[in-house]
Amino acid sequence: MIRVLIVDDHPVVRSGLKNLLADEQDIQVREAGDADEALLLISAGDFDLVMLDLDLPGKSGIELLGDIRRERPSLPVLVLSVYPEEQFALRSLRAGASGFVSKDAASEDLVAAVWKILGHGKYISEATAERLLHHLKSPPGRYSHESLSDREFQILCLLGAGKTVGEIAFELSLSVSTISTYRARVLDKMGIKTNAELMRYVISNRLIL
């Protein structure tokens, strides 16, 4: 029996993924709504695959991915996200993910990704592979956002999408002061002075959907 852990803070999304995998033979699914619950289950259980959403409350999916790598180095992780593939796929793979799938992907693509990774392979879409190849050929340091940490990059994208510091704090279950600190770091590292300038940068570099 193949054991899969779905980590997503939205019960409807977890239910949908669970129903999708229910049509596959020999797959048993467990669910977790946040990073802490996921780590408890991973520590206590013997899973074959983790399906991980990047946008979790509190600790981000990328941060959780690092924890999983330390706890269970050989446990494959398939990242699911609404964020643009060409921006977050590379960060996810660098953090140790075995694959990246957009939540907008067709159900057959998601199932294909699951089986590819369970077969000890890696998975990204063909379109994303082409974009990543182009990105890797670009001169290092070409983009200001490359200097950001994963959390800072997440904050950058959320600010670029027009969300306020308060809205981001609520969404990520962090304090307003913490988000304000991240915002200040982002602006400083990228040499940006205003939110309007930040939003122009995010849009022009296609960092949001």
10-to-80, 109, 115 alpha-carbon distances in Å: 13, 21, 24
Compute the Cα dihedral for 175, 177, 180, 184 and give only its sign.
negative
Query: How far, in Å, CA of 179 to CA of 62, rounded?
Result: 17
pLDDT of residue 57: 82
Query: 209 and 82 in contact (C-beta within 8 Å)?
Result: yes
Do residues 116 and 92 make contact, with C-beta atoms less than 8 angstroms apart? no
> What is the pLDDT, as a whole number, of residue 185?
93
**Predicted pLDDT of residue 139:** 55
Cα 57 versus chain centre, distance? 12
Architecture of the domain whose range is 144-204: Orthogonal Bundle (1.10)
The one-letter amino acid at 25: Q
Look at residue 118 in the predicted model and tell me its pLDDT. 94
Residues of the chain with pLDDT under 70: 84, 86-87, 131-143, 208-209
**According to the model, what pLDDT value does residue 124 have?**
84
Q: What is the pLDDT of residues 159-208, one digit of tens each?
A: 988 889 999 998 888 899 999 999 999 999 988 888 888 888 888 877 76
Which pTM does this prediction carry?
A: 0.75
Ranges of each domain in the chain: 2-135, 144-204
At residue 29, the pLDDT reads 95
Residue 104's closest CA among 129, 127, 126, 85? 85
- Distance separating alpha carbons of residues 157 and 169, to the nearest angstrom: 14
Report the top-level CATH class of 2-135: alpha beta
Element (H, E) at 100: strand 99-102
pLDDT at residue 21 in the model: 92
